Amino acid sequence: MKKTIFIVLVAMLLLVACEKKTDLIIHNKTNHNVYYTLDNGTPQTLSGQNTRAHTFELGKTNIFGETSKTINISVEGETYQLPHPSANPNDTTDVRNLQPHDFKDTKITLTSQNNYHIYLWPRTASLRIKNNSDRKITGIKWERLYPNNTTNNYEKDLINEDEPLMPGQEVWCRIQPMDAAFGENWFYYNFRIYSVEIDNPLSMPDLKIYGGEFMQRLEKDIQYVIDFTGIDW
């Protein structure tokens, strides 16, 4: 008799078991594109101030409890990045969270109880360069300059002659925003673009400089766009 009751109970549990789903909802709270992949799937682009939901099958659950699923997510944006692994993710003044870095992989666990929301708030500024000229851009260098503390000056190459930016192409990168918390240790940017004529690639590159001390202050979520149309002779 007990064996029969046990079999009936097992059968009932199997009957009440059902497939569970949950939604992962991504909110892009920046004004620029965010790029992500879920579980090494197809790369996705979510434009600024938009939201997208992805539905995941979690498998079967029963009366004993919920079910869950852990997924990999790789995410970065033109003004968004994950918190630096060694910094407090909630400290918006920690310079490690403001400086661009390459950390973009993390994991999240979805459960059958609730939908999962991800809010991507801006953390950096951004630079975008469009080559709308008939020239080949062979170098892009940006400089962060501190008038009150020149020992902090910093420069970085965005592209070089091994990977030139051809006419019609564009490139972007995140850059550190100028936050009010820096006080007297404020800074500004110079952007140097080196280019050559397509039919004369061995000539010395010509230089054009953008930015400067009186440029627009690059706070979080501001993108400085350079529309390169050629050299002004």
Tell me the pLDDT band of 229, cut-offs 50, 70 and 90: very high
Residues 39, 2 contacting (CB under 8 angstroms): no
Closest C-alpha to 185, from 137, 144, 227: 144
**Mean pLDDT computed over every residue of the chain:** 86
Tell me the pLDDT band of 21, cut-offs 50, 70 and 90: confident
Tell me the pLDDT band of 215, cut-offs 50, 70 and 90: low
Tell me the pLDDT band of 4, cut-offs 50, 70 and 90: low
Long-range contacts of residues 61-68, Cβ cutoff 8 Å, at least 24 apart: 61/17, 61/18, 61/20, 61/112, 62/13, 62/16, 62/17, 63/13, 63/16, 64/13, 66/20, 66/111, 66/112, 66/113, 67/20, 67/111, 67/112, 68/109, 68/110, 68/111, 68/112
All domains of the chain in start order, with CATH: 20-120 (2.60.40), 125-228 (2.60.40)
In 10 A of CB 175, how many CB atoms?
A: 24
- Strands 105-111 and 154-159: what pairing? unpaired
As a whole number of angstroms, the distance between CA 39 and CA 31 comes to: 25
Per residue in 85-144, pLDDT (tens digit) is 888 877 766 777 778 888 999 999 998 888 999 999 999 999 999 999 999 999 999 888
As a whole number of angstroms, the distance between CA 233 and CA 115 comes to: 58
pTM score, two decimals?
A: 0.84
Residues 123, 79 contacting (CB under 8 angstroms): yes
- The upper half-sphere exposure of residue 195, i.e. CA atoms within 13 Å in the direction of its Cβ, equals 23
Per residue in 128-182, pLDDT (tens digit) is 999 999 999 999 998 888 888 887 888 889 888 888 999 999 999 999 888 655 6
